[in-house]
Amino acid sequence: MQNKINLLPHQAVAIALLLITLSVNISMPLFRVYAMEAGLNNGQTSLVLAAYIMGMLPCYVFLGGLSDRLGRKPIMAASVICALLSTIIITLFPDVYALIASRIFQGIALGLSMGCGTAYISELLQHEKLAATKAANMASLSTSIGFGGGALATTIVLLYKFTLVPVTYYILLVLTMAGLGLVFFLPKLERMGGNIIRLPYFPKGSFPVNLAIAICWAANGVVIAIIPGQLAQYGLTIYGGFCLVLMNWSGAFLQPFIRKVDPAWSVRLGFILVPIGFGLVVAGCYINELAVILPGTFIMGLAAYGFSYMGGLAIISNLGGIQKARAVSGYMFYGYIGFGIPAIFLGYIADQFGIVNSLLLFESVIIALSVYLFASFKK
């Protein structure tokens, strides 16, 4: 079945996932600017960013069976609508308080769509060989491009002309409305049924791997929440968008290669990459050199969305057995808790003792945990 513009249904779902993830970081280069206008400090800004987790975690972790019960199409439509609302809010009210509401809607959109979208694509490709693998690859590519692409587009626009409401907001509004139209033409598939609430499952032996992804994503969350504050001291705030792009794309675009690598080797490599990458970020902040920060974020991304992520996902899927889906939810639960919570604490520490000192403290924690995890994982 095709829609009116000759897109195959599974391609339309991938586009919907792309638009949802574009909305998540479209305003990221302006987070610090909005916060500074409102007089917020680093800790308070981190709380604003964490609103995204407040919207996402309940949906992602506890409502994993929603699309099975109600159907894939209505849940994808609801996800795109939430993404559209998030962009409308920040476009009409470009300030940090509207950003809180916008981030909550972004979190809901992502939480509802990730599992649903991947399952939807898989079911639409059910007659092809390796449908589940193809669906996972397509969803991963779409979301990776979206997470980094929104921030990149806004950063480029702001470098040309600074404004609190960049043209990328309006472009995304038009594209998202068009994407919503595509979703309405998607076929309705038979509902799977089952329980709406599916709690995460943490199989025996999963703790080191779950903690590893929490550390990786915690480092990324800290970079997103705190590094722009350091860059702002030298008028480089909007370059934080490039940090996000490098973190999301460096590992994501290597995923086809990483899937062929032994999962255990991938996770062990991540234990090395994260301390090195974050160490470069700290060094770059200390010497006020963006050219050192950017390679650091690139190396962090190799672990967070590449080696650690893919290796850990494979191991958790294997450990989960027949509870694979719930085990993966537990894995992502650790990741997103890591993404949000440490950044909040580091934000308040940065306000008291300085950004570089707070980053040095976190680097020490990363090194200690990486050594512990490496030893635990080998056992």
Q: Which residues of 248-281 are buried (b: 16+ CB within 10 A; e: fewer)?
A: bbbbbbbbeebbebebeebbbbbbebbbbbbbbb
Q: What is the pLDDT of residue 224?
A: 85
Cβ contact 199:107 at 8 Å: no
Q: Give mean pLDDT, residues 73-88.
A: 95
93 or 324: which leads in pLDDT: 93
- Distance between CA atoms of 267 and 257, rounded to whole angstroms? 14
- Distance between CA atoms of 338 and 184, rounded to whole angstroms? 35
Listed residue (200, 215, 204) closest to 57, CA to CA: 200
Q: What is the pLDDT of residue 201?
A: 81
Q: What is the pLDDT of residue 193?
A: 64
Domains of the chain: 1-198 (1.20.1250.20), 199-379 (1.20.1250.20)
Q: Which residues of 33-43 are buried (b: 16+ CB within 10 A; e: fewer)?
A: bbbbeeebebb
Q: How large is the C-alpha radius of gyration of the chain?
A: 20
Listed residue (183, 205, 220, 228) closest to 74, CA to CA: 183
361 or 64: which leads in pLDDT: 361
Lowest mean pLDDT among 183-187, 359-363, 375-379: 375-379
Listed residue (158, 152, 144) closest to 251, CA to CA: 144
Single pTM value for the model: 0.87
* Per-residue pLDDT tens digits for 134-175: 777 788 788 888 888 899 999 999 988 899 999 999 999 999
Token pair for 202? 């943490």
Q: What is the pLDDT of residue 96?
A: 93
What one-letter code names the amino acid at 278?
F
Given pLDDT bands bounded at 50, 70 and 90, which one contains residue 232? confident
Q: What is the pLDDT of residue 31?
A: 87
Q: What's the angle, vertex CA 312, arms to CA 306 and CA 316, rounded to 5?
A: 145
259 or 74: which leads in pLDDT: 74
Q: Sign of torsion, CA 144 147 153 156?
A: negative
- Distance between CA atoms of 213 and 299, rounded to whole angstroms? 15
Given pLDDT bands bounded at 50, 70 and 90, which one contains residue 326? confident
pLDDT of 106 over the 90 cut? yes
Q: What is the pLDDT of residue 88?
A: 97
pLDDT of 6 over the 80 cut? no
- Distance between CA atoms of 134 and 128, rounded to whole angstroms? 9
- Distance between CA atoms of 293 and 84, rounded to whole angstroms? 32
How many alpha carbons fall within 13 Å on the CB side of residue 372? 12
pLDDT of 5 over the 70 cut? no
- Distance between CA atoms of 228 and 302, rounded to whole angstroms? 21
Helix axes 324-353, 207-232, angle to 10 degrees: 40
175 or 316: which leads in pLDDT: 175
What one-letter code names the amino acid at 223?
V
Percent of the chain's residues with pLDDT above 90: 36
In the chain, what is the straight-line distance between the N-terminal and C-terminal CA atoms, in Å?
A: 51
Cβ contact 169:158 at 8 Å: no
Q: What is the pLDDT of residue 1?
A: 43
Q: What is the pLDDT of residue 126?
A: 81
pLDDT of 2 over the 50 cut? no
Average pLDDT, the chain: 87
Q: What is the pLDDT of residue 339?
A: 86
Q: What is the pLDDT of residue 378?
A: 62
SS3 36: helix
Q: What is the DSSP string of 100-133?
A: HHHHHHHHHHHHHHHHHHHHHHHHHTTTSTTHHH
Q: Give mean pLDDT, residues 78-94.
A: 96
